């Protein structure tokens, strides 16, 4: 409800297709010195249609269809330039590898790069912000409290792109039922049309009949659940607001057998590909590690599996001795230069294809912990063990969304781990084949980014 994120993504996608198509027509116009003939358009239609599909997929992997791509951010122009330049290089390789289309697009691609950049910039940075601008901001009232509530209010109120402004805020701990009449007055006087309520709070539950009356009987206000709005904005769940009944309602239900079957098929295909890559790169990694110093090629770690089971996983060694599962700064063990490269590219994870094919691990799911570290975290963080209600994965929703401190590619503190947990719970609640594919594509992009800065 906040910015029509899905509609915004569809709008951006359709606009990109128009920009790509118009860029091709203009390129052919310049290339031929006049209006392109029907044959020229027909010859270019199929190969460029395939390229358009690939290019929009690359845009998606680059995050250009994320909800935050609809916000006017300073790094969008640079991201657009790098992504479209990458797309043109990809197109050149495409025509080199698949030469049977019967066209020689070198000059056309060079011209196309100029037109496509100009039109994509025009569409993304000028036209779309104009088209998507709301005529007026929707007023909202909120009954809730806590750090995440403050975070939600700050994020929504300081960003006009959401189209919502919180104008009335009440803390359920001090919100007496007798004050509801004054609250309803404030809602009316400040032109509030949306009521956002923490329905799980015991204090708020006393006022729910009156909220129901405003929203569904008198129909003066639209109702929105605080949890759902927070998830819609941040793509994670609000940890401080969670209670046992939330888990019973959102985590305990089984997923469909078709989804599990599709996941297992993807795991087998992915595991086989990882196994082939592991066989190819193992001799080179062994030589590089040997040149750097003595030590094992592979290490094993005892990690936590689904429902708290234990598994032995396999990785390329990345530290001087072995990967102990300690946080950064807790010991003298350090990451080697070869190990740093393996971690940046995630190649150290590839030997886990054995665990994937054995069914202990999935490609997508909450990242599992080394046994000792996982036990420490379970003692320190409420509900932490719930993340093992599903099969753990090599990559997950947290890995493609969470930003860590400079130089780190995993949580290094309790607070960072809590944030990871908030993303993990979002994944467990919303898991689907579509979400898994999205995570896989974004993971590939992150791997390339670490190596190429694309």
- Residue 34 CA, distance from chain mean position: 44
Whether residue 147 is found in the same domain as residue 103: no
Statement to judge: residues 421 and 285 lie in one domain:
yes
The domain boundary residue, chosen from 132, 161, 188:
132
User: Tokens in use for 186?
Assistant: 């404030």
**Last residue in a domain, options 132, 153, 172:** 132
Domain co-membership, 120 together with 228: no
Tell whether 417 and 304 lie within a shared domain: yes
Q: Residue 407 burial by CB count (10 A; 0-12/13-18/19+): exposed, middle or buried?
A: exposed
Distance from C-alpha of 344 to C-alpha of 408, rounded to nearest angstrom: 10
321 and 371 share one domain: yes
Q: Which domain holds residue 333?
A: 257-452
180 and 229 housed in the same domain? yes
Long-range own/partner contacts, residues 151-156 (CB < 8 A, 24 or more apart): 151/234, 152/226, 152/229, 152/230, 152/233, 152/234, 152/238, 155/233, 155/234, 156/2, 156/233
Distances (CA, A) of 402 to 95, 205, 230, 383, 416: 37, 33, 16, 19, 9
Do 361 and 291 share a domain, yes or no? Answer: yes
Same domain, 163 and 298: no
CATH number at residue 203: 3.40.50.10700
Residue 405 DSSP one-character state: S
pLDDT digits (tens, 9 = 90+) for 184-201: 788 888 888 888 888 877
304 within a domain of the structure (yes/no): yes
Nearest one of 356, 357, 288, 358 to 316, comparing CA atoms? 288
Does residue 245 fall inside a structural domain?
no
- The dihedral through the CA atoms of 344, 345, 351, 355 has a sign that is positive
Kindly state whether residues 79 and 171 are assigned to the same domain.
Answer: no
172 within some domain = yes
pLDDT in tens, 18-29: 998 999 899 888
Rounded distance, CA 433 to CA 299, Å? 32
Tokens 């008198």 belong to residue: 218
Task: Indicate the average pLDDT of the chain.
Answer: 82
- pLDDT, tens only, 30-54: 888 888 888 888 888 888 888 888 8
Split at pLDDT 50, 70, 90, the class of 98 is low
Statement to judge: residues 401 and 284 lie in one domain: yes
222, 228, 248: which is closest to 144 by C-alpha? Answer: 228
Name the domain count of the chain: 3
Tell me, what's the pLDDT at 391? 93
Q: What is the pLDDT of residues 236-253, one digit of tens each?
A: 998 887 878 788 877 766
**Domain check: are 146 and 123 in the same one?**
no
Q: What is the pLDDT of residue 333?
A: 58
Specify whether 120 is located in the same domain as 142: no
């Amino acid at each position: 409800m906040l910015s029509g994120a899905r509609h915004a993504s569809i709008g951006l996608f359709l606009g990109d297709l128009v920009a790509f198509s118009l860029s091709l027509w203009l390129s052919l116009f310049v290339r031929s010195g006049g209006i392109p003939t029907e044959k020229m358009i027909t010859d270019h239609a199929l190969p460029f249609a395939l390229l358009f599909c690939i290019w929009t997929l690359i845009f998606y992997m680059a995050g250009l269809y994320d909800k935050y791509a609809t916000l006017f951010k300073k790094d969008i122009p640079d991201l657009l330039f790098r992504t479209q330049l990458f797309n043109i290089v990809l197109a050149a390789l495409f025509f080199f590898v698949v030469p049977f289309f019967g066209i020689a697009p070198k000059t056309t691609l060079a011209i196309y790069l100029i037109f496509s950049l100009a039109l994509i910039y025009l569409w993304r940075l000028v036209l779309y912000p104009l088209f998507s601008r709301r005529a007026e901001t929707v007023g909202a009232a909120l009954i809730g409290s806590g750090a995440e509530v403050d975070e939600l209010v700050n994020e929504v109120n300081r960003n006009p792109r959401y189209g919502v402004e919180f104008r009335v805020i009440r803390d359920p701990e001090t919100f007496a039922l007798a004050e509801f009449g004054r609250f309803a007055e404030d809602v009316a006087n400040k032109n509030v049309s949306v009521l956002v309520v923490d329905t799980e709070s015991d204090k708020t539950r006393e006022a729910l009949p009156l909220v129901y009356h405003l929203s569904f009987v008198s129909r003066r206000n639209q109702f929105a659940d605080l949890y759902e709005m927070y998830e819609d904005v941040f793509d994670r769940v609000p940890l401080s607001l969670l209670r046992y009944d939330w888990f019973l309602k959102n985590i305990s239900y089984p997923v469909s057998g078709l989804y599990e079957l599709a996941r297992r098929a993807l795991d087998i295909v992915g595991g086989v590909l990882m196994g082939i890559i592991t066989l190819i790169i193992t001799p080179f990694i062994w030589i590089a590690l040997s040149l750097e110093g003595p030590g094992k090629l592979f290490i094993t770690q005892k990690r936590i599996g689904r429902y708290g089971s234990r598994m032995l996983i396999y990785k390329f060694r990345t530290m001087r001795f072995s990967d102990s599962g300690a946080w950064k700064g807790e010991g003298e063990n350090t990451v080697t230069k070869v190990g740093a490269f393996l971690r940046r590219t995630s190649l150290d994870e590839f030997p886990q294809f054995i665990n994937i094919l054995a069914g202990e691990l999935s490609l997508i799911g909450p990242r599992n912990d080394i046994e000792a570290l996982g036990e420490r975290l379970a003692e320190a963080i409420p509900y932490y063990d719930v993340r093992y209600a599903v099969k753990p994965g090599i990559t997950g929703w947290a890995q493609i969304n969470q930003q860590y401190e400079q130089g780190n590619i995993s949580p290094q503190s309790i607070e960072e781990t809590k944030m990871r947990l908030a993303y993990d719970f979002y994944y467990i609640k919303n898991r689907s084949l579509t979400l898994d594919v999205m995570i896989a594509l974004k993971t590939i992009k992150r791997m390339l980014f670490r190596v190429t800065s694309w």
